[in-house]
Amino acid sequence: MCAKAAAEENRSAPLTPPSSPWRVTAVKPLEDFRLWVEFQDGTAGTVDMDAFVHASDAGVFAALADPQRFVQVFVDYGVVTWPGEIDLAPDAMHREIQASGQWVVT
pLDDT by residue (tens digit) across 63-100?
Answer: 999 999 999 999 999 999 999 999 999 999 999 999 99
What pLDDT band is residue 21 in, cutting at 50, 70 and 90?
confident
CATH number of 83's domain: 3.30.2020.10
Please say whether the beta carbons of 52 and 106 come within 8 A. Answer: yes
Within 10 angstroms of residue 49's Cβ, the number of other Cβ atoms is 24
pTM comes to: 0.81
Question: Which residues contact residue 103 at a Cβ distance below 8 angstroms, ignoring those fewer than 6 apart?
Answer: 45, 46, 47, 48, 92, 93, 96, 97
Alpha carbon distance 31, 104 (integer Å):
14
The number of residues in the chain equals 106
Q: Is residue 84 part of a domain?
A: yes
Q: Is residue 49 part of a domain?
A: yes
The rounded mean pLDDT for the chain is 88
Domains held by the chain: number:
1
Within 10 angstroms of residue 26's Cβ, the number of other Cβ atoms is 11
Q: Is residue 29 part of a domain?
A: yes
pLDDT at 20: 82
